[in-house]
Amino acid sequence: MTAEAPARALNKVVSLFEPDALLPIQYLDTIRRVVPIEPEKRLMWAVLEDAIECYQSHFLSRKPRAAESFNEIEKWILETDYRWLFSFNSICDMLGFDADYLRAGLLAWQQRQVRWSELHSQAKRGVRSAGEIS
């Protein structure tokens, strides 16, 4: 893993909640930690980071494994259970995130992706039909 990988993943998480006018580096400057994170929290951070990265990268995938991974992660995110130490809610709670807010942000991101995908496919169909000769 390169030194840039954690920053890229953190940018994905951060991008869910910042306005478009705010640069990622501006937000990251406000959340840099002075005290290192304990090992357990680092593991929880890695689990959450990986889940969000897979959720976003496997969304709308046509590959069976990727779609299965997305469905598993989506189920984990939507589950509102605190009984398991590594449940979405427990991890968010331990890291100081509002699980409902993060969940809502992910679902809003998903809806934007669906709309973009639909617009993109409509535009492709329009280009194809405009290029056809009658």
Q: Are 48 and 56 in contact (CB under 8 A)?
A: no
Question: From CA 45, how far away is CA 30, in angstroms rounded?
Answer: 18
Question: Average of pLDDT values for 8-14?
Answer: 63
What b-and-e string marks burial along 99-132, b requiring 16 or more CB atoms within 10 Å of the CB? beebbebbeebbeeeeeeeeeeeeeeeeeeeeee
Q: What pTM does this model have?
A: 0.63
- pLDDT higher than threshold 80 for residue 9: no
What does the radius of gyration of the chain's CA atoms come to, in whole angstroms? 18
What is the distance between the alpha carbons of residues 91 and 48, in angstroms, rounded to a whole number?
Answer: 7
DSSP 134: -
Q: How confident is the model at residue 16 (pLDDT cuts 50, 70, 90)?
A: low
pLDDT score of 61: 86
Highest mean pLDDT (candidates 19-23, 46-50, 123-127): 46-50
| pLDDT tens column, 80-120 | 988 898 999 999 999 999 999 999 999 999 999 888 888 87
3-class DSSP assignment, residue 88: helix
Domain coordinates in residue numbering, the chain: 4-131
Please tell me the predicted confidence (pLDDT) of residue 133: 53
Q: How far is Cα 55 from Cα 133, in angstroms, rounded to an integer?
A: 41
> What is the per-residue pLDDT across 42-78, written as a single tens digit (0 to 9) for each?
999 999 999 999 999 998 888 999 999 999 999 999 9
pLDDT of 134 reads 47
At 98, is the secondary structure helix, strand, or coil?
A: coil
pLDDT confidence of residue 23: 57
Give the pLDDT score at 62: 86
